[in-house]
Structure 1
Amino acid sequence: MAARAPTRPSNAYLDALAQRRRARGLAATSVAWGAWGGGLGTIDEMMGAQWRRTGLMTMDPRLAALAMAHTVGSGTAHGVVADIDWERFAPGYTMARFRPLLRGLPDVIDLLAEDAPEDGAGQSELVARLAGLSPEDQERLLTELVQAEAAAVLGHASADATGDRPFSEIGFDSLTAVELRNRLNAATGLRLPATMVFDHPRPSVLARRIRTELGQTDTSSVDSVLAELERLEASLVALPKEKIERARITSRLQRMTTKVAEIEAVGVNGDTVTERLDTASADDVFAFIDQEFGMD
């Protein structure tokens, strides 16, 4: 048996060794384990508290030993023995991208696909409060909401402690970002992504995103389009590669890019670049090259 901690660089070698021995009919099991409690682990109390905060719980040594014995006796080449609070761990672990390790865990898949509040009470109440307010007052109200929830997540008594400072400067990490997302989802009835804190660096910027999601902006504005692109990007990052390929998302995005390029190619009088060049003098052509390609 090759017993290993789940984060060391030698893991791949041990896993490959166990797989090779099993293929040759020899005994081998590579077991990755989480944090052992009872003073038997390799982490101190402070590190253990940090791990528990992220959802990696310390294990009772007796139960951990029984689980390891069961894994070794199961005849598999690989196994994981860990006590994980998926509700805490999964959102932060999958924030940047979907993790193949979790692909076969239905409970985790369901957790990550959790819907917004079904009754929509939070959104209805907030939209009612925004109705009749000017765009500036709407943004101010939503900014104050984000600041208040951010302060609560960080344990501050007042939003004044955070202000409109960047989330990265006031102590947000992957776990607190998920907590803030959950609080804002409950308050707004939206389904904001866990990456929102990192995609929107400060409360006022995130407030504008929420305002757009609530349908309080002009859908033809540049800010609205950019907000939609940010939301689309966040959704794409969460999709497995095979789903992107199967849905032909890449080709659809390329067609959209081509369409935007065609719009940009139309001149101020409605002429395309080709039409403008057909009627241009030599000086006009050189001026066009200088403008488009920055040539001196």
Structure 2
Amino acid sequence: MPVPTTLDAKLIVRAWAPTPIREAGPARAWLVLADEGDTRAAHLRSLLTATGSEPGVLVLPSRQLDPDGVQRVMLQTAAQARRGVPIVIATERAQAVLEGEAPDPGPAALRGLVRVLALEHPETRATLVDFDDLSDLVTELACDPACDPAGDAAGDEVAWRGGVRYTARLRRATLPPLPRPARPVTGPGAYVITGGSGRLGRIAARWLAARGATRIILNGRTSAPVDGPTRMITGDLAAPGTAERLVAAATAGGVRLRGVIHAAGILDDRLIADLDPGSLERVWAAKVTGGLRLHEATKGLDLDWWVAYSSAAGLLGSPGQTAYAAANAWLDALCERRRAEGLPAISIGWGTWAGATTALPFVEPLAPEEGLEALEALIQRDLPAGVIKLDTAQAVTLFPAIARMPYFSDFVDTPVTPPVRDLAALPPGEALAAVTGQLKERVAAVLGVEAGWLDESSVLTDLGLDSLAATRLRGVIDYDFGLTIPTAPLLQGGTLGALARTITENLPPQPATAQPATAQPATAQPAT
């Protein structure tokens, strides 16, 4: 059963703060990926200094990308991530950095991709840079993406405004006092809930009915039993006309539509390496396309509130959920844009609710009463926030690279230096023993088994290793040993001992704080 905690202990926001401009590092060549005819790309190439090193990848998305365009950029970036080279995604005025700025939801959604890359492919040192002047982007690129990874100036979500550099950080939020007069939450009138055949939609409908709503319109792709003031209208929210039908049903007979909850969404979990157009479209249809149609259908109405059910995946990153994380980042930006245009909107980045499966093992479930308490409090205060029971100790255990990401610095006080000393200087036998001991602890944590059960002959797939767990293990090895390993041998009968030998034979001369070395997997043979 979920253990209730105070609401303040669960509230998380993403905030921008000025940070120092970093000193220039070694010059790097950049492969600039942009749409044909983008004059910014041509200008940028003339400003960048190329060197003989393997180039990093600079993705320069067009402005005002529609959902199809964002998905195309995501697939393009995913293909580059497989190469393991540094990746920078450079967007122009897409993020709401300063008070009152209206974001550009399409390019802004790519921050969700960066959050997942940080966990699935830490070797890319993926960074989002949102600029308002190309010269500032060049200044940012002049520092190697990996330089000063633990310093105050570092960050993987960076913005420039008027020559000032900002970085994004997660912060704890505190509920402000209730405004006077208090914002109405529920009462006589109509309410629309998308995702109404799902569990969270039904919980919200019961809550509204108990608070005096006279009409509740639920929408889902499939029907569900309803009673009292609730009516179900089936239909694909992403299809033209569905959102308008919901509004018409809500306002029939002159009833005022007072509130909207956009809770529609589906999952199609897969690693970045396995993304394809179909999986992206499935996830984005209800969350993004449906959200946009709902926004258009309601933006001319006098609403009390408009709530988007976003996700912790967009705030924290969630391995295996790139499409979902980016879709929720898009929804967050849509809400910020509505607010900048004077329309009501808050996005709530929900952690896992009790009874649902989760791809985030370091997020504890919310009891329904906790979720409803947060929903009411955030609507009353017009406060967008994440509502997440974050277990930081478990997060660092499973993804130790979090400890050196300034984005999480307010939540993690773990030392940021890798726990393993310089092993390459040790005699081979001692180095192998040290690597094997550390690896046992890491494998046990990732797979949820006792370290004492493991030995060099343990076949990792027999212990439950799948592609997602292999990605987690790959991340901790990168953190501990400064080494990037291929996951294929791990999933083809590789043993713990073979993995330890591969690491030992490829150890860099010191723990890497810049680009990790790449292991040659020849010694990682399957068990026989």
Same fold (TM over 0.5): no
TM-score range (shorter-chain normalised) is 0.3 to 0.5
Which of structures 1 and 2 has the larger relative contact order (alpha carbons within 8 angstroms, sep 6+)?
2
TM-score between the two structures when normalised by the length of structure 1 = 0.38
Q: TM-score, normalised by structure 2?
A: 0.24
Q: Which structure shows the bigger proportion of residues in helix conformation?
A: 1
Larger Cα-atom Rg: 1
